[in-house]
Structure formats: C-alpha cells, structure tokens
C-alpha cells in the first residue's frame, strides 16, 4: 500500500484544436492561389471543425479554438483547471501536436523569454504563474500548512538522443541522459539537470536558456522549424500535515524531521509508481502525520508532424526527419493501440518502448495522468492534407482512457528504518495498553469480589487481556 487517501479519477484524454491565423509570414510565403481558408468553426458548435477540402469533413473535439482565440482564452478554457489538478497531486501532461509552423511553440510558450509581451505568453509561463500565486496564497493561509518544493527540467529528443537543455558545461563532457527502468518497472531519467525554482521569472529564464540550446534548422516550410521534441517538466513535492482526529492542530504541527537526503534527481521523474520513487523519510507524530504528494507536469512541444516530402529535406535534415517521424509514428501506434476500441479488446501490448518519446510519456498515455492534446492546424488550403492528417490523429487520441490518481503516501512508507522504529513504538504502545487493561481488570475484579458479584463476561475480558 503506498497511497493513503489520495483521490482517483478515470478520465479520457482531452483533445482540443487550435486553428492558427494566417500570419504576414504565411501570406508572403504561401502560394497565393492556395491561401484560401478552408477550415471553419462555428460559435454555436464550439467543439466542431469543418474542413472544406476535396470533400467536406466534419470532426468533433472537446473544444475547437478559432483563429482569433487569444492565448489567455486557451489557457483559461483548457489549462487552468489542469494546473489546479496538478496542485491537488495529479500528474498532468499537455502535448502540442501539428505540422511545422502550425503554432505549437507559440501555444505552449516553449520558447518564451522575459521580454515577451504578457498577451503573447504561452501556456507554460501562465501555468507557472497560477502555480506560484496559488502556493503564495497557501503560504499566507492560516488553515493550510502545506510546504512545497518545485523543480524544473528541460529535455529535447533529437534523432532518438536525449539532450539536457539545462545542462551545465560542455555538452560532450556531460553524462548522457538515459532512460532507465528499476527492478519494479518504474521509469526514470538519469544524468538530468533539475533546477529548483521559486518564481515565474526564474522559470521563464530557464525556458529561454533551454530554447537557445534547441536543435533548429531551416527548411522550405519555416526557417525556425524544429525537428525535435521538447519536454519541459515540473516536479512538485508537497508535504502535508494530517492531524489525528481528536488531538493535534493543523495550524501547529510538529515540523517533520528528514533523516534521509532529498530525492536524487535521477529518481524524480519516474513512471508507473512515481510516489514510491519520491518518498521522503519522516516520522509519525503524536498529533498526526506528514504525508508527501509528488506530482509531475510535462509540457511537450512535439516535432512537426508533416511528411518529409513537403519539406524537401535532404541529407542530414532528411535523417532527422525520418527519426522524428519514427517518434511520432510510435506515438501514433501507442495512441492507436490505446484508443481503438476494437484493437484494445485484443491488444494487451502497448508499444511504449518503440521510441524514447513514448517511453517517457508512458504514464501520460493510458496511465496515471491527466492528459491534454492540443492539435494545431493551419486554415490555408495549401495545408489541407496535413490538416486532415492532424485532425484524424487527434481524433483517435480522444478514445484513450487514463486512470489518474493523487500520488500521496505516508512519509517514510518505504523506509525500512522508519518502519522498524514504528513497529517498536507500536509494540510499546500495545504492551502499555495490555498493562493498563490488566490493571483495570484487576481493579474491577477486586471491586466485584468486595461486593460479592462475579460476572463471567467481565472475567473472560480480564483473561483475554493476558493471552
Ligand atoms: P510550430 O512550433 O508549430 O512550428 P510556431 O509556434 O513557431 O509553430 O508558429 C509559427 C509562426 O506563427 C510563429 O511566428 C508564431 O509566432 C506564429 N503564430 C502561431 N500561432 C499564432 C497565433 N495564434 N497568433 C499569432 N501568431 C501565431
Ligand atoms: Mg515549434
């Protein structure tokens, strides 16, 4: 038993579509005859999108955001609620999917920097802003004694290599980032820089630092296009004091003692049983107990989903393209295996291991997480085929069911030393109780014999306490 009282929710992967407005750059670069907008949305059916391509196709999603949607609206309608779930202790993952230049990085805010106007900020800085303001108000609250510790990491998957975007020093001299699996089947990363953060500005500075390291290269479609997946992860550790029912005040709990150093960084991004890997040692106190809640938030800016021939890629660029397509292909296969009700009946094997991307996202797809897929599309006729491909891909993801649980556990549950001292303490309490009961029984017996009454029930109770 690792979970002590955390909630559990069966949820489908949420899928929303964002239609990008045609930018000046698009108008200059797309052939004029293909600039016609073929994607329509309706204010009366905000979950529907219609593509007037060679044939008319209609798709339904959890939400469809038309081109005029602001960054703030996307955040409020689709993300804010997930940030609150994250604070409750659920794992959350948001993926941005779509062809190059469809607005993934803009939507996610993966490349935001401190100078960006606040209207333009993407999901990551907004989510961090909600997170830190909630934590600040909790700190000022008299009725909430939670303590928080937040760390961020930023990796890129490029040609199936994991690159640490926050790594210090010369890249070649750094230990490689590896995905490992422990004996219990938990997945975790090693060799990864995780930095403690205490405010939004710090997070944005790390975003900017990491984005500068990202592998980018020019193609016909967008000179800033990226052929790699970028994953910005936030790990939050909360300590919460749960008072005993009748004594102990939530306002003045005994401070926990940590007899073991904090979680090693290589352990803090784990899979199936994250709470187990992140347990922190503490003691149980007379007035209650401390529990830890560990939650992870992955913001995934996926590589462009377009087919290679559209980018006229060649040489090394083509190799990159093939590798990326293999990552997205594996993601597609996982989505298909999890999402197709016919396949799901017969398939127990989900091919998470086919790529690093799917391995890392294992607990976000069909596992322990709340997941939002934001599929970004262009409205232009020029991109009609890619838009249809994106909508079909996104549609399949809607069938995936996740089972999200709060990763809460009693502190020290996996610590043998802690459990041994707990057993000793409980034994002592048990024998004190026996002695107290025996004394009480003797007193009662003396009272009864002095009054001349002996009841069998009481006598048997007395005997029981000594067996
Ligand atoms: P991707 O990451 O999918 O390749 P980007 O997010 O880099 O695409 O977007 C391509 C270009 O379009 C960028 O210059 C970006 O600022 C612009 N853009 C994307 N979405 C929007 C939007 N909703 N409103 C205004 N400009 C946008
Ligand atoms: Mg991008």
Distance 216 CA to ligand 2 centre (A): 9
> Would you say residue 174 lies in a domain?
yes
**Number of domains within the chain:** 2
CA 272 – CA 270 distance, rounded (Å): 7
Which of these ranges, 37-51, 209-223, 346-360, has the smallest mean pLDDT?
209-223
Question: Which numbered ligand comes closest to the C-alpha of 216?
Answer: 2
CATH number of the domain at 349, please: 3.40.850.10
Instruction: Report how far apart, in Å, the C-alpha atoms of 44 and of each of 21, 40, 64, 76, 312 are.
Output: 20, 12, 11, 19, 40
Average pLDDT over residues 167-178: 78
> Would you say residue 272 lies in a domain?
no
> Would you say residue 153 lies in a domain?
yes
CA 58 – CA 40 distance, rounded (Å): 10
40 a known binding residue? no
> Would you say residue 406 lies in a domain?
yes
Domain shared by 62 and 116, yes or no: yes
The length of the chain in residues reads 467
Domain shared by 78 and 108, yes or no: yes
> Would you say residue 225 lies in a domain?
yes
Query: Which residue, 375, 395, 410, sits at the end of a domain?
Result: 410
Distance 172 CA to ligand 2 centre (A): 25
Residue whose C-alpha is closest to residue 263's, from 236, 245, 230, 231: 236
Could you tell me the pTM of the whole model? 0.78
User: Which comes out higher in pLDDT, residue 330 or 64?
Assistant: 64
Q: Is the CB of 73 under 6 A from ligand 1?
A: no
Q: Ligand 1 pocket check: which of 98, 101, 211, 373 to mutate, most ligand atoms within 8 Å of Cβ? A: 101
Q: Whose CA is nearest to atom 16 of ligand 1?
A: 106
Which of these ranges, 19-23, 212-216, 341-345, has the smallest mean pLDDT?
341-345
Q: Whose CA is nearest to atom 10 of ligand 1?
A: 101
> Would you say residue 265 lies in a domain?
no
- pLDDT, tens digit (0-9, with 9 covering 90-100), for 266-314: 333 333 333 333 334 344 556 778 888 888 899 999 999 887 554 555 5
Domain shared by 229 and 162, yes or no: yes
Question: Which numbered ligand comes closest to the C-alpha of 379?
Answer: 1
Domain shared by 174 and 100, yes or no: yes
Q: Find the domain containing 460 and state its range.
A: 416-467
Q: Is the CB of 98 under 6 A from ligand 1?
A: yes
Q: Which atom of ligand 1 is nearest to the CA of 106?
A: 6
Q: Whose CA is nearest to atom 1 of ligand 1?
A: 101
CA quadruple 242, 244, 249, 254: dihedral positive or negative?
Answer: negative
- pLDDT, tens digit (0-9, with 9 covering 90-100), for 187-206: 677 788 999 999 999 999 99
Domain shared by 380 and 431, yes or no: no
Distance 154 CA to ligand 1 centre (A): 21
Q: Is the CB of 100 under 6 A from ligand 1?
A: yes
Q: Which atom of ligand 1 is nearest to the CA of 301?
A: 2
Domain shared by 310 and 171, yes or no: yes
Grouping H, G, I as helix, E, B as strand and the rest as coil, residue 233 is strand
Question: Which numbered ligand comes closest to the C-alpha of 211?
Answer: 2
> Would you say residue 25 lies in a domain?
yes
Residues 249-276 as b/e (b if ≥16 CB within 10 A, e otherwise) read eeeebeebeeeeeebebbbbbbbebbbb
């Amino acid at each position: 038993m690792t979970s002590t009282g955390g909630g559990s929710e069966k949820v489908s992967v949420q899928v929303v579509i964002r239609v990008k407005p045609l930018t000046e750059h698009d108008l200059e670069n797309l052939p004029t005859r293909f600039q016609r907008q073929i994607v329509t949305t309706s204010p009366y059916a905000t979950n529907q999108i219609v593509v007037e391509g060679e044939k008319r196709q209609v798709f339904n999603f959890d939400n469809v955001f038309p081109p005029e949607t602001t960054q703030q609206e996307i955040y409020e309608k689709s993300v804010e609620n997930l940030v609150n779930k994250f604070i409750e202790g659920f794992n959350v993952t948001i993926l941005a999917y779509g062809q190059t230049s469809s607005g993934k990085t803009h939507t996610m805010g993966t490349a935001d920097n401190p100078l960006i106007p606040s209207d333009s900020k993407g999901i990551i800085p907004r989510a961090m802003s909600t997170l830190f303001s909630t934590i600040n108000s909790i700190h000022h609250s008299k009725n909430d004694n939670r303590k928080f510790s937040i760390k961020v990491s930023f990796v890129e998957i490029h040609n199936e290599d994991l690159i640490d975007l926050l790594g210090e020093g010369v890249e070649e001299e750094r230990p490689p980032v590896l995905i490992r699996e422990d004996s219990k089947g938990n997945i975790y990363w090693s060799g990864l820089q995780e930095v403690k953060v205490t405010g939004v500005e710090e997070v944005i500075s790390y975003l900017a630092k990491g984005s500068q390291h990202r592998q980018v290269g020019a193609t016909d479609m967008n000179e800033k296009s990226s052929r790699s997946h970028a994953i910005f992860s936030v790990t939050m550790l909360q300590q919460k004091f749960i008072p005993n029912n009748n004594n102990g005040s939530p306002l003045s709990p005994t401070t926990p003692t940590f007899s073991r150093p904090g979680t090693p960084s290589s352990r803090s991004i784990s899979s199936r049983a994250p709470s187990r890997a992140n347990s922190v040692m503490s003691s149980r106190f007379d007035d209650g107990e401390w529990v830890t809640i560990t939650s992870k938030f992955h913001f995934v800016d996926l590589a462009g989903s377009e087919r290679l021939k559209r980018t006229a890629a060649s040489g090394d660029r083509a190799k990159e393209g093939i590798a990326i397509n293999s990552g997205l292909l594996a993601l597609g296969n996982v989505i298909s295996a999890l999402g197709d009700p016919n396949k799901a009946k017969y398939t127990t094997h989900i091919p998470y291991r086919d790529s690093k991307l799917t391995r890392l996202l294992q607990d976000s797809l069909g596992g322990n997480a709340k997941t939002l897929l934001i599929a970004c599309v262009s409205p232009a006729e020029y991109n009609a085929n890619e838009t249809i491909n994106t909508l079909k891909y996104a549609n399949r993801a809607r069938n995936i069911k996740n089972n999200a649980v709060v990763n809460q556990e009693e502190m020290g549950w996996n610590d043998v030393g802690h459990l041994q001292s707990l057993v000793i303490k409980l034994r002592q309490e048990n024998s004190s109780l026996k002695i107290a009961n025996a004394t009480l029984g003797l007193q009662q017996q003396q009272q009864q014999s002095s009054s001349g009454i002996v009841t069998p029930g009481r006598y048997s109770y007395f005997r029981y306490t000594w067996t």
